[in-house]
Chain A
Amino acid sequence: MTSEALLSARGLRVVIDGLHILHGVDLDVAPTGVTALLGRNGAGKTTTVKAVMGLVPRTGDIRFAGRDVGRLPTHAVVRQGIGYAPEDRGVFAGLTVAENLRLAERDADPAYPFVYELFPELRSRGRQLAGTLSGGQQQMLAIGRTLLNANRLIVADEPTKGLAPKIVAEVADVLARVAERVPVLLVEQNLALVRRVAGTCTVLADGRTAHQGDAAELLADEEAARRLLGVGGGHPVAASSIATAAPAVAAASAATATATATKEAP
């Protein structure tokens, strides 16, 4: 898997204000489809993504499309062809929707037709201040921003967090469509959604990689899913229930998960 991975990180470490947040994350993003980054709340998923983007000080090897990007500043990482939709959406509240999009333009010929086809509202609400959009609309804007440029990878950190069930289903549809064109690294707590769109997955626990492998396989193995994610993954979930599926945050025994993580980590 390593040789063909689009993005691969080895021994990723992050220390912020003397706090060791990541101590050895390995991550491989498949060159096609959706790669899911899973783990309970506080496992280090967001920090891993930020480390890849250069938004937090990091050490370790990060290769993207064959290039060492581990020491590049954020803007240079992004210019390698990565579109990033952060956990808090990162929408500029005081700018209009159109200005938010314009700021994200990097290519000479931004793909507005594709973005407006996916999200017609971004066109009709172009002059509206982004801060007045609903959570779902802001998420559409955050994703739309990543699709303006001919990116080689889209990174989306919990794009369904805090959204109404109907909107979650819409975001899922969009992610599935996007993944047909460009590989996606998806941080997600909604396991039904993961089951629907993800091919491979990496599971983090306490700042380390605890598991890498096929997403459907992991979620089908109830015992492993409970161990790694703190929920049973075995119940078959229909596509329609994506919206209401319980997030993977359930209160599992932290001690069990930690012990397992340490055992499985390299």
Chain B
Amino acid sequence: MATVVLLACTGLGLGALYFLIASGLSLIFGLMDVLNLAHGALLSVGAYATWWGAAQAGLNYWLALAFGTAFGTVAAVVLELVLIRPLYTRPRDQILATVGVGLAVPALLMGIWGGDARPFPQPESLAGTVHIAGAAVPVNRFVLIGAAALVLVALRLFLARTRYGLIVRAGVEDRAMVTALGVDVRKAFTLVFAIGGAAAALGGGLAALYFGSVNPGQGANLLIFAFVVVVMGGMGSVAGAAAAAVAVGLVQQFANYYTADGLGDLAVVALLAVLVLARPRELTGRLA
């Protein structure tokens, strides 16, 4: 029982990370038809900025996390304005550009701080464990789950209650018609990139806490699982991404533990292949 609880909490924590990456990825694709292969790089930017804040600048964890998130948000906005926006009429070049950023950022991080993992200073307040049904669950799992839940609620409120949320929901359905109502959707694009970048960078700062270190490849690794989540949840669907993130995190943890280590990761990627082959239509799905 204790093992099951620990695996479940860890799986949910991982699922929370996946959700933070996948929600932005899903909204960006749903609204803009942009498959942002640089999204993992935004996570890495957030992770390293948080690490820099905590380990180099001596900020406490929460301040470092806020700094990392803000830094990643700015990076996402710059990415949209400088690289994505000029290429809207050239989708193929746009994908290549995001691939380029996805490769360049880890290389840059490696160039500056080296290829090895850098230990992330664990804050005292989050170092302990919580006892549930005999299991000692590290506190940081709950930080991840709580943060993802907050982001989920905030995103749902944004989509349901605000004018830009309305524009995003409508734009996921039919972007051309939104412009035909006199709306300049490019502002919504930049905003969605900012939101997606913020969530991914927050995920980066939390991943640093969860894994206890940062390394240049982290973003790209997590991006693969986020893709599985996006495809499972339906492009453009925040609620779908949340449900799929929980499923993927749990399947991965339990399969890794009860079968062979690494088989869970493989199972998830195999699941992606099956989904893409079986439901190619879902790639252009609707906002739920």
Contact = CB atoms under 8 A, between A and B. Distances in A.
Q: Are the chains A and B members of one assembly?
A: yes
Interface of A: 53, 55, 73-76, 78-79, 84, 86, 90, 92-95, 99, 102-104, 106, 145, 149
Contacts of A78: 179-182
B81 interface: no
Contacts of A94: 169, 173, 286-287
A90 B183 contact: no
B177 interface: yes
Interface string B178-207: 111111110000000000000000000000
A55 B175 CA distance: 11
A109 B185 CA distance: 22
Contact of B174 (A74, A90, A145, A149): A90
Most buried by A among B170, B173, B182, B185: B182
Contact of A75 (B169, B174, B179, B287): B179
Interface of B: 166-167, 169-170, 173-174, 176-185, 286-287
Contact of B176 (A55, A79, A95): A55
A86 B179 contact: no
A90 B170 contact: no
B180 A86 contact: yes
Contacts of A53: 180
8 contacts: A78-B182, A79-B182, A84-B181, A90-B174, A92-B177, A99-B166, A103-B183, A104-B181
Given A73-B184, A78-B179, A103-B166, 10 more contacts: A75-B179, A75-B183, A92-B170, A93-B173, A95-B166, A95-B173, A99-B166, A103-B167, A103-B178, A149-B182
Nearest to A146: B181
A47 to B, nearest CB: 14
A53 B286 CA distance: 25
A223 to B, nearest CB: 38
B285 to A, nearest CB: 11
Contact of A92 (B174, B179, B184): B174
Nearest to B176: A55
Given A75-B185, A94-B286, A94-B287, A103 B180 contact: no
Contacts of B177: 86, 90, 92
Nearest to A54: B179
A145 B182 contact: no
A149 B181 CA distance: 10
A58 B115 CA distance: 51
Contacts of A73: 179, 184
